Structure 1
Amino acid sequence: MKIKYFKSTIIVALLFFAISCDNDILDKAPVSSFSGEGFYLTTSDAQAGIYGIYNSTQGVFRTNFAYWGEGRADNVKTEQSGEGLTLIQNNLNESASSANWSSLYTMISRANYAVKYIPNVYGEGDPAGNQLIGQARALRALAYFYLVKVWGDVPLITEPYTSIEQDIFVTKTNKEAVLDQIEEDLVYAVNNCTEKYNNNNDRIMINKGSANALLTKVYMWRHKYTEALATSAVVLKNPLYSLVSTMDEWGKIFTDGYSKESIFEVGYNDDQTNSLRVLYAIGSYAIFTPSEKFKASYETGDLRISYVYDTTIAEPKAIWKFLGKGVSDEDASKSHQNIVLIRLADIMLLRAEALNQLGGAANKAEALSLLNTIRIRAGLPAFETEETASTQYGNLESAILHERSIELCFEGQRWFDLVRTGRAISTMNPLNGLSEESNLVWPISTTVLNKNPNMEQNDYYK
């Protein structure tokens, strides 16, 4: 049975945040009479506040995990004329729904209230309170990490709005300073979150393992390869996580959720649904389907492909991965599958990439071993040597990145991999003319610009 952030407590949390949080915290009206301090009175209030942050993640990622992570990359195409086409053709503009960061800042606002007021409930230094603050700070870090990856320089807000004296018309902060704060928050989470919950919460709530995994992804984004090796080693040794063995189990990572390979998922259910079916599987109306380039990129004999789309037809109308092998593309029912944001195969391949970047015979050998572990599970032959991988893909780095493209397809990773590794322009220029570094970020939404006179549009879109 799925555990979805304890709905009765969520209701309390949402009542609080309906008062304390605007839809766009950057444009928040001054607080006049309400104080978060008046809500955070008991341990139940503190827990409700944390559940409210998790509730925000549902809105943040329900559609945008694919718009941000797949829509501008080379694995998808579309037959539609809406935002999916805008992204694929690199015709972004400030009216695009994916250009609006409001939901991310609502998530951050909820975290800021929790970080500030939970110590009033538990007292400074209390382990139970610190554990809750660790979750809040990790979720705040998750939100800021997406903000930096999507927009670059963004406003950094770490205090809740509690006074009319506070400046509500904020400006941008250099992305490196934001990333420094992200690292600080995640290190706090690693040091203070629980090892495990001993139930499905280990997949949908932050613990030490998921905090270390997210920190690994941040280190890789910043090319801090030595640091990424340290955190990824902790994740790989964590008994909570192991690779599934069979392809049927691989398919259930996404359709059923809560697998032993999963590290962090955004949880949904029949009442709290997402856009997976609209994005990937409503017949000719699906926003994204596999591109010709993606379909040609599989190696013969790869067992994953039949779980990803229908290989028996030339033009598949659906991506099956999250919704299930053979899912009907005529079924318009709402989708409730969890969105898997981080899993073990992701961290293993990032570790392989870091090892390869650092170089040396031992590091290269371990990188190759990690790559081969993923390949063998998929029914593919192992690369016997680095030269074997290089012969097929040019070099070991390209072989690892190709494996990420296949293994993590449509999970919201591909665009960020291209940007992180400096391959976005060379990959996408032949497809949509992408040619400038300043075009790698999104425009800032008209909604944000109109409400904040101090907010400047990103340079490419001025």
Structure 2
Amino acid sequence: MKRTFKYIFGSALMLLMVSCSDLDKEPISNFSGQGFYKKPSDAQAGVTGIYNSMQSTFRLNFAYWGEGRADNVTTKHSGDPLALQTNALTPIITSARWDSFYTLISRANYAIKYTPGVFGEGESQLKNELLGQAHGLRAIAYFYLTRIWGEVPLVTEPYESVDQNVFVNKNSTQEVLAKVEEDLLFAAENSSKSYSGAKNRVIFTKGTAYAFLTQLYMWQKKYDKAIEMADKLMSDSQYSLVAMNDWNDIFVKGVSTESIFEVGYNEVQTNALRILYALGSDSDYVPSGRFIASIETGDLRKPRIYDVTEAQPRKIWKFFGQGFKDESPELSSNNIVLTRLADIILLKAEAHANLNQPTEALDLLNRIRRRAGLTVLDEATAISKYNSVVDAILHERSVELCFEGHRWFDLVRTGKAISTMKPINGLSNEGNLLWPLHESIRLRNPNLKQNEFYN
């Protein structure tokens, strides 16, 4: 599908406020920052390079990291899909590589260090916005890194000298998450509230910062702070739930009113969504029997997720539209939605439930249930059907956010990964919740110790 408004990465539209004549900059990776950063358009090109890294980082692995080890999918494929589903992770699987994250972080570090110098003295709105984006994107990278691997190296300066230590050690998860929080708070303060047109969902904004702060505080079980950040986001009128009839368009067309932050793709910068979910009997993942059985009768989302006429659905329609039949192996130009309003509403509901505030929790939960055509739950019914209000909300997240890269992280942060996955694949050890470090990482840096479970 032609969606010209999405062709902003690596193009003039991405670079906000400068003329096209200033935009012939390649995304940065390894170079002298002082030699590159000379004027504001150079700083804009540097930030564009961070988004370019996000495209590479999430194009396939968002699903491997967020869905592949969880209970909503099943697979017939070898390689990473089978290793993750059977809990047979090894240091040679593709998803155990973190290289693309550190490329993203390196580009962010250059932008953070050198952007102030190209604007001179005094305040500049563009400078603040670019720095807000760079800090925010770096925070997303470190948030994923520590949720996947636990302790990871915290690198906040660009490598520019042979005198710098390249054999870095791991930092504690507490140190990494503290930097994530610091970066996101900086981004919330300095990023723009909105941009014009389609850019508004694929460039880091204040709303993006509030959404990831909500996710961060829920991961840390800081429920009051999660509610505070969710309220900041939900008070912004530019975000609203789409109607059920438009639910698939969140993913098929992208940049909906419900979306908060998407990784943008096009026919040149593509992702693996079709390989993951759309190639009929040959896709990486299809809905598991357990997931299918979990969907309540009358849920309007069900036929929008997969073909309900098939006993074992062969493809996932959610990202391509109801009735999608094309089984071409071509790569996808759809955006990947990393967070949207329904995600934040349900996280806020969960926070209230954990603070023993069921009225507030159920009010939020029922907003999502009503859209799906389901009856509202009161506390007694939620407990009867799902054991607790928290569990009712987690079930709703499982269905509403299915295959978007949230399920595994939800199971881990709520302490349900082992109880859920042990009957499926034998997961039984807390240390096994982390990924192993890829062997190439340890060959390059002998100071990095393998995660204990995989020794």
TM range (shorter): over 0.9
Please tell me the root mean square deviation across aligned C-alpha atoms, in Å: 1.3
- Residues 1:388 and 2:381 are matched in the alignment: yes
- Residues 1:331 and 2:324 are matched in the alignment: no
Q: Distance in 1 between matches of 2:37 and 2:330?
A: 39
Question: What is the CA-CA distance between 1:364 and the residue it aligns to?
Answer: 1.7
Alignment of 1:288-299 (within 5 A): 288-299=285-296
Question: What is the CA-CA distance between 1:6 and the residue it aligns to?
Answer: 4.6
Aligned mate of 2:365, from 354, 364, 371: 371
**Paired residue secondary structure (2:260):** strand
Alignment of 1:106-255 (within 5 A): 106-123=103-120, 125-245=123-243, 247-255=244-252
Match of residue 451 from structure 1: 444
- Residues 1:14 and 2:26 are matched in the alignment: yes
**Paired residue secondary structure (2:6):** coil
Give CA deviations for 1:231-275 in whole Å, capped at 9, x if unaligned. 000111111100012x22111001110100000000001111100
- Residues 1:348 and 2:342 are matched in the alignment: no
Q: Distance in 1 between matches of 2:278 and 2:197?
A: 31
**Contact 2:248 2:318 (8 Å CA) reproduced:** yes
Give CA deviations for 1:113-136 in whole Å, capped at 9, x if unaligned. 000000111136533212111100
- Residues 1:282 and 2:279 are matched in the alignment: yes
Q: Distance in 1 between matches of 2:437 and 2:197?
A: 39
Q: Distance in 2 between matches of 1:387 and 1:8?
A: 54
Give CA deviations for 1:260-302 in whole Å, capped at 9, x if unaligned. 0000000001111100010011122100000000000000000
- Residues 1:316 and 2:310 are matched in the alignment: no
Match of residue 26 from structure 1: none
Give CA deviations for 1:82-102 in whole Å, capped at 9, x if unaligned. 210110000000000000000
Question: What is the CA-CA distance between 1:180 and the residue it aligns to?
Answer: 0.1
Count of residue pairs the alignment pairs up: 442
Q: Distance in 2 between matches of 1:92 and 1:7?
A: 35
Give CA deviations for 1:352-385 in whole Å, capped at 9, x if unaligned. 00011112xxx321110100010010000011x2
Q: Distance in 2 between matches of 1:90 and 1:111?
A: 33
**Contact 1:276 1:335 (8 Å CA) reproduced:** yes
1:250 is aligned with what amino acid?
A: W
Match of residue 88 from structure 1: 85
Normalised by the length of structure 1, the TM-score is 0.94
**Contact 1:112 1:160 (8 Å CA) reproduced:** yes
**Contact 1:134 1:192 (8 Å CA) reproduced:** yes
Give CA deviations for 1:128-164 in whole Å, capped at 9, x if unaligned. 2121111000000000000001000000000000111
Question: What is the CA-CA distance between 1:330 and the residue it aligns to?
Answer: 2.5
Normalised by the length of structure 2, the TM-score is 0.95
**Paired residue secondary structure (2:5):** coil
Match of residue 20 from structure 2: none
Match of residue 441 from structure 1: 434
Question: What is the CA-CA distance between 1:5 and the residue it aligns to?
Answer: 3.0
Match of residue 422 from structure 1: 415
2:307 is aligned with what amino acid?
A: D
**Contact 2:306 2:322 (8 Å CA) reproduced:** yes
Q: Distance in 1 between matches of 2:440 and 2:177?
A: 25
**Contact 2:27 2:48 (8 Å CA) reproduced:** no
1:378 is aligned with what amino acid?
A: A
